[in-house]
Structure 1
Amino acid sequence: MSSPSQSLTLWAGAWLSGRAAPDEVIDALHEWAPMHLVAAAEADAKHRAGLTGQDPQDGAAVLLTVIRRADPAGGSGIRLLLPSPGDVRGLPVGIAFSAAATAAGEGVLVGAPGTPGLGLVPTVEGPDVLRWTVFAVPAVPELTDLPGLGEAEFTMREAVRDAAATLTGIRTVGDDGRSTDPRAEIAAEIAEYARHRYPDSIPQRAVRILDAADQVAAILTVAGRGGGLRAGSATTLDARESALRPLWTAVRHARVGAVDAALRAPQHG
């Protein structure tokens, strides 16, 4: 699992559709941090989310209450967003939630398309604390341009090959000036992703796509890391970033497409 937003989307979607217990959602979130704080970004968001009393509120269970309130239909209106500067597909235009999600590189949108909804954006506040900021969304946009499982699986097979080729062509030099073998670093990145499990109810094809996306992301993370994989010059650095950028885009789109298809698969009702 690549992010708290991905965990929340998959597990809350499974819960809303009757395929997971609330405690399972909370346990999955606690893998990211033992303490979760939920705060409204503005008064409208606080009212719409049903948040009362102290701000922020403590507890991952508060997130479930907020999501249930925004998606009473049962999982059909929750989606993962993984925006980046220049690639903001799926985000509502010109609102605070979109800016915050883009800055964080992730977010969760809850609500039926065409109706008011809520946006959730996580930020790390310390080694043991994750804050979820709740934003009011005037109108949830329609789903567009999401790859199906077949397209996402094909894209990830190609991306694994291209990422491996890109890494092979990058000069890897450690801080001590010696050549380094990035395979151990890639394995450590993949192991960190694998620490976060998926709901048993999601299709195995979606799991394969998400695992492949994690593999590509691990390669790209190591390939793009400074220090242990320093570029020899500004020109080399620019070339490396240009090579990695479309692969990161493919990873984000595959993750979003696989998560969306998993939540809407027949076994989810």
Structure 2
Amino acid sequence: MPCPSATMVVWASAWLHGAAASDDVLDALQVWAEAHEVRTAEDELASRLDLPGPEDSPAGPALLLAALRKAGAARGELVLPVAGDVRGLDGSTEFSRAALHRGEAVVLADAGLGLVPRQPDPAAEGILRWTVFELDDLPPAEHLPIGEAEHGMASAMREAASTLTDLDIAKRRPGVRNEIAETVSSRPNPSWPEDVPQRPLRILQRASEVEAILWAATDDAPGGALSASATRARTDALRPLFDSVRAARRSAIAEMVRVLADRAEQH
């Protein structure tokens, strides 16, 4: 699904390149929570960035933007780690563990910083806290061209549909199309800078639709549960499609950041 880290990557990168005002960034984050808080993971990093430490009262996101600029950040990268695929993370670190637990994070490689959002307390609705981590050595950044990502998602969807049909576990149930549409429409609809091209926006929309189909395909109706072997076969068939959705999202966000940075540098 769309995530706060994607919003932060695009809007913070736009702001760092002078393509958006700080108020635009703060407004864009509002779709995820009414209030955003910021703390660092370590006191030493807090001192260097002029941000609250782990035991201090949190600051607002405006101070985070100032800290990113002070640290020399230029553009962010979205990472969407899952067990078995931790590309973009920095090994067995506190940041990597937090990012993997959340399933998303922002990497600002040029500043050596990572950001992970989380709800600080299950009872604290409307609050999202960003923890700032200092990164260890990162692996070389992977670049997946947006066209290749789009093609990969389409190919994975065809292969998954064919495999599920061959396994005779492609199921139908009344109202599933409405379920998928409701799933897509119920998710937050983040805004993007005006200069963002349409292609990555279409890919993000398609990724959301495909993901909704995936969750519907793995949600067994009452009385319709599959055998253990059929469930494993279905999981194996759908895993590449889940992976391709994440790859398409990362590529679409990276393309947004690239276009915004290039246009800013031309002016």
Query: What interval of TM-score do these two structures reach, taking the shorter chain for normalisation?
Result: 0.7 to 0.9
**Match in the other structure for 2:235:** 241
**Match in the other structure for 2:148:** 151
The percent identity for this pair of structures is 41
Alpha-carbon distance between aligned partners in 2 of 1:117 and 1:8, rounded to the nearest angstrom: 16
**Match in the other structure for 2:118:** 123
Tell whether the 8 Å contact from 1:122 to 1:132 is kept in structure 2 after alignment: yes
**Match in the other structure for 1:254:** 248
**Match in the other structure for 2:12:** 12
Go from structure 1 to structure 2 and tell me whether the alpha carbon gap of 1:197 and 1:262 turns closer, same or farther (over 3 Å shift): same
SS in 2 for 1:130: strand
SS in 2 for 1:57: coil
Alpha-carbon distance between aligned partners in 1 of 2:48 and 2:99, rounded to the nearest angstrom: 19
Go from structure 1 to structure 2 and tell me whether the alpha carbon gap of 1:239 and 1:137 turns closer, same or farther (over 3 Å shift): same
Alpha-carbon distance between aligned partners in 1 of 2:32 and 2:44, rounded to the nearest angstrom: 28
Matches within 5 A, 1:37-116: 37-52=37-52, 55-72=56-73, 74-75=74-75, 78-112=76-110
Q: Give the structure-2-normalised TM-score.
A: 0.84
Alpha-carbon distance between aligned partners in 1 of 2:140 and 2:33, rounded to the nearest angstrom: 32
Matches within 5 A, 1:224-239: 224-225=218-219, 231-239=225-233
Aligned residues: 256
Deviation string 1:11-56 (CA, Å, 9 cap, x unpaired) is 1111111222211111111110101121222223323432147724
Q: Give the structure-1-normalised TM-score.
A: 0.84
**Match in the other structure for 1:186:** 180
Tell whether the 8 Å contact from 2:106 to 2:116 is kept in structure 1 after alignment: yes
Q: Let me know the Cα RMSD of the aligned residues.
A: 2.6
Tell whether the 8 Å contact from 2:164 to 2:237 is kept in structure 1 after alignment: no
**Match in the other structure for 2:263:** 267
Any unmatched runs of 5+ in structure 2?
Answer: none
Alignment-mate amino acid for residue 219 of structure 2 = R
Any unmatched runs of 5+ in structure 1?
Answer: 173-178
SS in 1 for 2:115: strand
Alpha-carbon distance between aligned partners in 2 of 1:194 and 1:163, rounded to the nearest angstrom: 27
